[in-house]
Structure 1
Amino acid sequence: MDRHELAQFLRNRRESLRPAEVGLPAGTGRRRTPGLRREEVAWRAGVSANYYERLEQARAPRPSPQVVAALARALRLGDDESAHLARLAGQTPPSRERPAAEVPEGVRMLLDRVGAVPAYVLNARHDVLAWNAMAAELITDFAALPAAEQNLLRLSVRFGEQWCRGSGDGFLRQAAADLRQAAVRYPSDTGIAELVRDCSAVSAEFAASWHAHDVRGPQTLRKRINHPELGALDLDCQTLHVPGTDQRLVTFSAEPGSVDHDKLLRLQLRALRNT
Structure 2
Amino acid sequence: MDKQQLGAFLRSRRERLKPEDVGLSAGPRRRTAGLRREEVAVLAHISTEYYIRLEQGRAPRPSAEVLAGISGALRLTGAESDHLHVLAGTAPSRNGRHRRDVRPSILALLERLPRTAGFVTSATFEVLACNDLAAALMEDFRELAPQERNLARRAFLDPRPELYGVSDATEFRHHVVMQLRSTLARYPADPAVAGLVDELREGSAEFARLWERHDVQAAAMLTKTFRHPVVGEITVDCDSLALTDSDQHLVLYSAPPGSRDAEALALLDVLGAQTFTS
Normalising by structure 2, report the TM-score. Answer: 0.89
Alpha-carbon distance, 1:121 to partner: 0.8
Aligned twin of 1:155: 154
Aligned twin of 2:175: 174
Residue segments in structure 1 that go unaligned for 5+ positions in a row: none
Aligned twin of 2:14: 14
Alpha-carbon distance, 1:22 to partner: 2.2
The answer to whether the 8 A contact 1:42-1:52 is kept is yes
Percent identity for Structure 1 against Structure 2: 42
The answer to whether the 8 A contact 1:123-1:246 is kept is yes
Distance in 2 between the 1:131 and 1:32 partners? 52
Q: Which amino acid aligns with 2:215?
A: D
Distance in 2 between the 1:160 and 1:221 partners? 21
Q: Which amino acid aligns with 1:35?
A: G
The structure-2 alpha-carbon separation of the partners of 1:206 and 1:272, relative to structure 1 and needing over 3 Å to count, comes to closer
1:212 corresponds to 2:213: yes
Q: Which runs of 4+ in 1 moved over 4 A?
A: none
Aligned twin of 1:62: 61
Alpha-carbon distance, 1:6 to partner: 0.3
What SS class does the counterpart of residue 251 from structure 2 fall into? strand
Normalising by structure 1, report the TM-score. Answer: 0.90
What SS class does the counterpart of residue 220 from structure 2 fall into? coil
The answer to whether the 8 A contact 1:156-1:165 is kept is no
Alpha-carbon distance, 1:207 to partner: 2.4
The answer to whether the 8 A contact 2:129-2:142 is kept is no
Distance in 2 between the 1:126 and 1:273 partners? 24
Distance in 2 between the 1:16 and 1:227 partners? 40
Alpha-carbon distance, 1:264 to partner: 1.4
Alpha-carbon distance, 1:253 to partner: 2.3
Alpha-carbon distance, 1:91 to partner: 1.0
1:269 corresponds to 2:270: yes
The answer to whether the 8 A contact 1:119-1:134 is kept is yes
Alpha-carbon distance, 1:218 to partner: 6.2
The answer to whether the 8 A contact 1:127-1:150 is kept is yes
Distance in 2 between the 1:102 and 1:176 partners? 23
Q: Which amino acid aligns with 1:4?
A: Q
How many residue pairs align between the two structures?
273
Alpha-carbon distance, 1:234 to partner: 2.8
Distance in 1 between the 2:272 and 2:100 partners? 25
The structure-2 alpha-carbon separation of the partners of 1:229 and 1:198, relative to structure 1 and needing over 3 Å to count, comes to farther
Q: Which amino acid aligns with 1:102?
A: D
> Can you list the C-alpha shifts for 1:116-142, whole angstroms capped at 9, x where unaligned?
111111121111111111111111111
The structure-2 alpha-carbon separation of the partners of 1:30 and 1:165, relative to structure 1 and needing over 3 Å to count, comes to farther
Alpha-carbon distance, 1:273 to partner: 7.8
> Can you list the C-alpha shifts for 1:38-97, whole angstroms capped at 9, x where unaligned?
112111110111211111111212111211121112112222211111111111243221
What pairs up with 1:19-38 in 2 under 5 angstroms? 19-25=19-25, 27-29=26-28, 31-38=30-37
